[in-house]
Structure 1
Amino acid sequence: MVGRGSDAVTRSGRGARLAARTLLVLVLAVLVAGTTFVGGLLAAPLDVRAVPPAPKPVLLLGADGTQFGQIRPAQRREVLRGEDIPEVMRQAIISAEDSRFLDHKGVDPIATLRAAYRDLTGGRRQGGSTITQQYVKNVYVGNDRTFGRKIREAAVAVRLENRKSKDDILTDYLNVLYLGNSTYGVQAASKYYYGVDVKDLALEKPGQPGAPDEVLALARASMLAGIAPAPSAWNPVEDFAQARLRQKYTLNQMVSNGYVTPQQASEAFRREAAVLPKKVTPPEPPSTAPEYADIVTAQLQERFADDPDQLDRGGLRVRTALDTDLQEAVTRAAREVLPDQDDPQAAVVAVDISSGDVTAMTTLRRAPAKGDRPEITGYTRGGFNLAINGRRSTGSTIKPFTLAAALEKGLTLDTRRSAPSCDTIEDPNAEGGSYRYCNAAGEGGSSRRLSLQRALQGSVNTVYVPLAIEAGRPRIKQLMLDAGVVASEAAFATAPSSFGLGTTALASPLSMASAYGTLMNAGVHVAPRYLLEVRDVDGGLVSREPEQPEPVRRALSPQVAEQVVEAMSGVTARGGTARSARQDFTVYGKTGTTNDSTNAWFIGCSREGRDVCLAVWMGYDDESCGEQLTRSCGGMKDVNGVEQVYGGTLPADIYDRTWEILDEVQARRAAEPSG
């Protein structure tokens, strides 16, 4: 046993001597190979750079250049002055990363040789880079894993130490080092992990009376500094136990360096609860069109998927199709018509007829019953967007597409059909194999025959359900697909035979506005567009969208489309279902209401300088519906003085009020001084 032990010791000694000789050879080789290169670097002038400024947000602009929101940079970083960083934070980072920082001249040969020796002998890996070298890597030479980069890093570090004070270098480093979870610099990290500015590390609740707690500051600073060498591996959010080991190491180093006493270090380490990460993220930047901002953000992330740094660096100026005046109008109109917490949900979308540009969007989705009132638009960034994601039953807003299919069959607007008050249709999906349906009160009768145009104006179900059978359901479905009501045939998979009544949850407010735009655009569907162009911080063009985004397709002939549009002009006339939406310009539209007023729609389109289709939806978004809103959950009755809500009541009121407010907004803008 002793002999084997002696042999083991001998082998260990031989291994150490071999490692030492190998290390010496490597050092000599490095010195010989690098002397000329390093000499040239040391002789070259050094561009002493300031700390890179904090990333700028991406600005979201309307079509006229008015800002309506911004995208927060993915990199969270704030630049502080030296006096705003407490001494305990400086001492902690020196102890954790570079205890000889105040003694060396940018490069620490002792630390470098010690790290190399431990690598060669299989000991615990240890970095040899100084704080100055780490800063140089971040700001000057990058993070390439090459020998040349390490040589440049060392040379620049030496030169930087001759140009800047230790205090300034340390301040700069504390403003750029990565500390995990997208935080760069001690200020951003302190806010994320503890919810306080780094200058307030000693305060439990900044802004409130109380003496600074220096032990609290020591606990927090040692935790932040401890994770700095490897923030991904020692992330306190992912592995708090490992982060605590690093905190303990840092505190021990602070004791060794004479910054704190053993008692202070022990007391700080016992403050475990004080260093639990709070994960405080800043709120999303405010926006006058938060739904729109979320959509644009998602599209930009997709656009720059191959070069995410371009988006993360910030500073881009993104011009969108948003009409900021119209956006203000639809937002105010929706909130004026539906001001109360227990009012129904709503979504309003405006789409330009010829370009497909989405020019306005707002939603009202009430907060859960916790006493909190909704925000100004009722939407929180990152939330569920009723305007594009809420698939609802469309009611009679689907009838123009039934009419289009009938006109293609050779019928005309003057073709007359029987209009009984109620009727029954065979439907294998319905209970008993049939489905009974009726008209709204006052429409139709046992002996009445109505033209297709008049039946559309009055939304007469007993004309349009048989008409859907006559025109052919397959053709109606294809029209709805081509016009943009639905995105794929899969949407019709569970549609009953009575889908011509709009009883199936098929469409969103956006898709309905876009589909009506197809009718108004001579039968040509243009995909909705949000982005117009992206420019960099200096104004250089990064990308520009085509005038008409794909897909552009013909859904129906210009002749048929124009006849449908003509028929829709009667909806706001005397005898129509949306008389309250009458304006001083022609409105081409249609109302829609599903059983028991669970959904109510008004879609109105205009020309004469207001070339948009505006879709208004109202309904209840009860949790029992499920997140996809695939079924309705309650009728709308006794809402703001309206006994029962139909498409021609409150939805039409929102449409009408939108244009009134828009006139006010534009008049106000015109009266504002230019420049």
Structure 2
Amino acid sequence: MGRAEERRARQRGGRRAAPRRRRPAPAAGGKPAKSLIRRMFTWKKILGTFFGVCLLGILGFIGLYLYVDVPEGNAAAQQQSNVYKFSDGTILARKGEVNREIVDLSKVPRKVQLTFVAAENKSFYHDSGVDFRGTARGLINTLSGKGKQGGSTITQQYVKNYYLNQDQTVTRKLKELVISLKVDREKSKDDILAGYINTSYYGRNAYGIQAAAQAYYHVDAEDLSVAQGAYLAALLQAPSQYDWAVATKIGKRLVTQRWNYVLDNMVEEGWLSKSKRDGLHFPYPKEPKGAPGLGGQKGYLVELANQQLEQRLMAQEGLTQSQAENAVVDKGWTITLNIDRKKQAALEKAVKAQLTSKLDAKKRKVDGDIQAGAVSVDPKTGRVVALYGGQDYYRHYFDNATRRDYQPASTFKPVILAAALEQSATTQDGKPITASTLYDGTSRRPVVDHGTKVGFAPPNEDDANYDDITVQEAMNKSVNSVFAQMGVDVGMDKVMSTANKLGMDTKGMQAVPAQTLGSMGASPLEMAGIYATFANHGYKVTPTILKSAENKGRSVDVPNPVGGSVISRTAADTVTSVLTGVVDDGTASESVASNPLRDGQQVAGKTGTSDENKSAWFTGYTPTLVTSVGLFGEDPKTKAHVSMKGATGLLRPPGRINGGGYPAKIWAAYTFGVTDKASFDLNTTQGAAVEPTETPTFTHTPTQTPSQTPSSAPPTSQSPSQTPSQTPSQTPSQTPSQTPSHTPTTGPPTEPTTEDPLDPDGDLTP
């Protein structure tokens, strides 16, 4: 070992040095050679590649710019008739008469012009006609399948409306970009703005600002106020959703917010003074008129088909609502509906025979306030086979079959029972909630949650007291106090969750005890879907009117209306079993069970009459058909909800239109005329449809009250399994394995008020 090595060894404390890594062999000139990765990714190569890609992109865009010409635009020529067919292929309607009148921009007040700029594109007067960032975002979303495009300028929207179409493809978006740049160079901003407001779709079958001014305010475009112009500008984001005449509460709130947004932008840009803006009030639109060729029920059927097609395009192709409406209305679609011609005719006939023929607004003002809506669904397929939206689409534009602004009242009670059964809920004293469970039916009994009063004590109809009553009898008589307590026993959050799973739109609804009375809003379409899910043994049914839609060889995917199980079969079948008691021995017995056309048909259903008699319902079903019928009190001028008391000349106190009356009569006249006799296939041991194996026993004898007395004469015709219950000891739902449980009584019952035979419903607040 040499001296140098010994010295290094001593410095290392006698340890041997670790083997050194081999350095790359020196290159020419004595410098070490670089690794392969470092040789491939030098900063010069990265920078060169970047500039190369940019250069190729620029050259490509220049080539595209030179290649793509501005086509001959003719928005009116793009309009084609939509053809609507019944389920058997026969023609229902042909709609395609375009309501458009082009007006010169000079005929539109300047500040009204500016409302559109403020709404859509504040930089319109100094941009290049293209929002590159928004277009890039749209291209990326399209390529990644995320859908919605955003950030289009007024110029881009005009190009899309006038020169192109609403397709969401990369090719179309690139063409839109190039044509927009060229149009911005070739045309003045005023020409572009005029084209935009004259080609846009505003809803109500109105294309262009002149048609929109007439449709919404019955004035010419030149007579529009700033406030009205701001509303029309706000509409373009979602014409149908924002149309005040048919908008939901959410839609009305959104369009009001957007109207304010438009005016605030005008103030921000200096186009409107703050004092004038503060003095403007929301300009409520006039009553709409139906489109030509859509009289009677046709308009309601066509509008629902259009809405469901638009929803499919939004989900399938990523269109915004405005784009989807533009892509559907009068664009040459062939749309086949699930509507059965014979059932549709039968439903219209039943409404006329049982209700509208009895209305005479000249004799009784209240008769002019009555609106009817109905939806009929096949529970096995989810197809909407018949629909009644109102007396005439021309006379009442708002579809009563799909409106959600009236309370479903006691037709919500089966949802509470379904939640109790699904959750295996118990009463306050820990007893399972079943069809035979005993509850205190005292009117105005305070609802309690484990000894604490929750501040809710609903009255029963006419303040009738039922003392101790089974769940089956409480459903038959529609006893409010029982289901209010049951809702708290189950947990209102769980009740509302079950409602949502069954198909009710519960967004924005509070999970409070008052909802047990059906105080939320719901539509006949919605309620038909909920009950169809019961009829289909718990498998989710989403009622669908759209069977197929084709356009120039392109078809739209229509999903199966029947989905997976949302509640157990036992829970769903138990609800059905209990609801047969409502028909055979409850609030629907007189109109449905005793109907001579029934011929032993097994039926389940529930009546409902809302607070102040503003709505009345019957939603019922056989094994093969579910139909929800609703009557609504609506002032024809103000559209306010009003009472229906005294309509058709019902003058005997209380003179109410109840769910067991006209709604149930319409249902029976229609259903028994279009269905064949069938029996429910039920997997349950509970409820009125199940015969007991022996007489059940009670821990005590309930006081005899109207709850144990039939509300009407026994039905003239019943299937063997449908034995009406007359006393608690005779309720078929009380099998030996189900010992009735009892919630504590808070006070002695009072004498019940005599029940009116014309109004057997038990869900009204006096």
TM-score, length of structure 1 as denominator length: 0.52
Q: Deviations over 1:248-292 (max 9, x none)?
A: xxxxxxxxxxxxxxxxxxxxxxxxxxxxxxxx9973544643212
Q: Pick the aligned partner of 2:615 from 584, 594, 599.
A: 599
Change over 3 Å in CA distance of 1:638–1:238 after alignment to 2: closer
Superposed displacement of residue 390, structure 1:
3.0
Superposed displacement of residue 564, structure 1:
0.7
For 2:291 and 2:412, how far apart are their aligned partners in 1?
43
Q: Is the CA contact 1:58–1:316 (under 8 Å) kept in the aligned structure 2?
A: yes
AA at the equivalent of 1:337: Q
Q: Pick the aligned partner of 2:506 from 485, 488, 499.
A: 488
% identity of equivalent residues: 23
**Aligned match of 1:542:** 555
For 1:71 and 1:470, how far apart are their aligned partners in 2?
52
Superposed displacement of residue 617, structure 1:
1.1
**Aligned match of 2:83:** 59
For 2:329 and 2:635, how far apart are their aligned partners in 1?
37
Structure 1: where are the runs of 5+ without partners?
1-51, 78-136, 147-177, 184-191, 195-235, 241-279, 365-376, 665-675
Q: Is the CA contact 1:636–1:645 (under 8 Å) kept in the aligned structure 2?
A: yes
Change over 3 Å in CA distance of 1:285–1:468 after alignment to 2: closer
Q: Deviations over 1:412-440 (max 9, x none)?
A: 2122222224423479xxxx984443333
**Aligned match of 2:307:** 298
**Aligned match of 1:385:** 399
Residue 394 in 1 paired to residue 408 in 2? yes
Superposed displacement of residue 498, structure 1:
2.3
**Aligned match of 1:561:** 572
Q: Is the CA contact 2:92–2:298 (under 8 Å) kept in the aligned structure 1?
A: yes
Q: Is the CA contact 2:291–2:299 (under 8 Å) kept in the aligned structure 1?
A: no
Residue 464 in 1 paired to residue 483 in 2? yes
For 2:434 and 2:333, how far apart are their aligned partners in 1?
53
**Aligned match of 1:321:** 338
AA at the equivalent of 1:423: R
Residue 521 in 1 paired to residue 521 in 2? no
Q: Is the CA contact 2:476–2:582 (under 8 Å) kept in the aligned structure 1?
A: yes
**Aligned match of 1:639:** 648
Aligned residues: 399
SS, match of residue 604 in structure 1 = strand
Residue 419 in 1 paired to residue 446 in 2? no
Change over 3 Å in CA distance of 1:489–1:578 after alignment to 2: farther
Q: Deviations over 1:371-424 (max 9, x none)?
A: xxxxxx233399322322332222111111111222222422122222224423
Change over 3 Å in CA distance of 1:400–1:600 after alignment to 2: same
Residue 283 in 1 paired to residue 298 in 2? no
AA at the equivalent of 2:625: V
For 2:633 and 2:456, how far apart are their aligned partners in 1?
25
Change over 3 Å in CA distance of 1:467–1:311 after alignment to 2: closer
Correspondence 1:103-252 to 2 at 5 A: none
For 1:559 and 1:536, how far apart are their aligned partners in 2?
44
- Report the aligned-residue RMSD: 4.2
For 2:351 and 2:400, how far apart are their aligned partners in 1?
14
For 1:639 and 1:565, how far apart are their aligned partners in 2?
32
For 1:425 and 1:238, how far apart are their aligned partners in 2?
57
For 1:281 and 1:499, how far apart are their aligned partners in 2?
35
Change over 3 Å in CA distance of 1:193–1:437 after alignment to 2: closer
Superposed displacement of residue 294, structure 1:
0.9
SS, match of residue 375 in structure 2 = strand
SS, match of residue 617 in structure 1 = strand
SS, match of residue 546 in structure 1 = coil
Q: Deviations over 1:69-115 (max 9, x none)?
A: 232154889xxxxxxxxxxxxxxxxxxxxxxxxxxxxxxxxxxxxxx
AA at the equivalent of 1:72: G
Superposed displacement of residue 558, structure 1:
1.0
Q: Is the CA contact 1:348–1:616 (under 8 Å) kept in the aligned structure 2?
A: yes
Correspondence 1:261-410 to 2 at 5 A: 283-286=292-295, 288-301=297-310, 314-339=331-356, 340=359, 341=361, 342-343=366-367, 344-364=370-390, 377-380=391-394, 383-407=397-421, 408-409=424-425, 410=432
Change over 3 Å in CA distance of 1:569–1:322 after alignment to 2: same
Superposed displacement of residue 476, structure 1:
0.7
Q: Deviations over 1:217-263 (max 9, x none)?
A: xxxxxxxxxxxxxxxxxxx97679xxxxxxxxxxxxxxxxxxxxxxx
Q: Deviations over 1:600-652 (max 9, x none)?
A: 11001111xxx22211111211379x76x7xx432423434472221101111
AA at the equivalent of 1:380: Y
Superposed displacement of residue 567, structure 1:
0.4
Q: Pick the aligned partner of 1:612 from 625, 631, 635.
A: 625
Superposed displacement of residue 536, structure 1:
4.8
For 2:673 and 2:458, how far apart are their aligned partners in 1?
38
Change over 3 Å in CA distance of 1:536–1:619 after alignment to 2: closer
Change over 3 Å in CA distance of 1:303–1:441 after alignment to 2: closer
AA at the equivalent of 2:373: A
SS, match of residue 656 in structure 1 = helix
For 2:86 and 2:517, how far apart are their aligned partners in 1?
37
For 1:663 and 1:577, how far apart are their aligned partners in 2?
19
Q: Deviations over 1:98-149 (max 9, x none)?
A: xxxxxxxxxxxxxxxxxxxxxxxxxxxxxxxxxxxxxxx99xxxx9999xxx
AA at the equivalent of 1:507: A
Q: Pick the aligned partner of 1:69 from 81, 87, 93.
A: 93
Q: Pick the aligned partner of 1:445 from 439, 447, 466.
A: 466
Q: Is the CA contact 1:320–1:531 (under 8 Å) kept in the aligned structure 2?
A: yes
For 2:461 and 2:85, how far apart are their aligned partners in 1?
45
Change over 3 Å in CA distance of 1:336–1:323 after alignment to 2: same
For 2:342 and 2:613, how far apart are their aligned partners in 1?
31
Change over 3 Å in CA distance of 1:330–1:312 after alignment to 2: closer
Superposed displacement of residue 655, structure 1:
0.7
Q: Is the CA contact 1:69–1:287 (under 8 Å) kept in the aligned structure 2?
A: no
SS, match of residue 410 in structure 2 = helix
For 1:488 and 1:440, how far apart are their aligned partners in 2?
26
Q: Is the CA contact 1:290–1:381 (under 8 Å) kept in the aligned structure 2?
A: no
Change over 3 Å in CA distance of 1:281–1:590 after alignment to 2: closer
Structure 2: where are the runs of 5+ without partners?
1-75, 102-162, 165-174, 180-194, 201-208, 212-218, 224-288, 314-318, 426-431, 677-766
Superposed displacement of residue 553, structure 1:
4.6
For 2:291 and 2:602, how far apart are their aligned partners in 1?
47
Q: Deviations over 1:180-220 (max 9, x none)?
A: 9679xxxxxxxx999xxxxxxxxxxxxxxxxxxxxxxxxxx
Q: Deviations over 1:458-487 (max 9, x none)?
A: 2122322211111221111111111112x2
Q: Is the CA contact 1:58–1:73 (under 8 Å) kept in the aligned structure 2?
A: no
- Larger % of strand: which? 1
**Aligned match of 2:429:** none
**Aligned match of 2:662:** 650
For 1:419 and 1:239, how far apart are their aligned partners in 2?
64
SS, match of residue 379 in structure 1 = coil
For 2:459 and 2:324, how far apart are their aligned partners in 1?
57
AA at the equivalent of 2:82: V
For 1:239 and 1:595, how far apart are their aligned partners in 2?
46
Change over 3 Å in CA distance of 1:641–1:660 after alignment to 2: farther
SS, match of residue 628 in structure 2 = strand
SS, match of residue 585 in structure 2 = coil
Q: Is the CA contact 1:320–1:533 (under 8 Å) kept in the aligned structure 2?
A: yes
Q: Is the CA contact 2:440–2:482 (under 8 Å) kept in the aligned structure 1?
A: yes
SS, match of residue 581 in structure 2 = coil
Superposed displacement of residue 516, structure 1:
1.1
SS, match of residue 615 in structure 1 = strand
Superposed displacement of residue 299, structure 1:
3.6
SS, match of residue 573 in structure 1 = helix
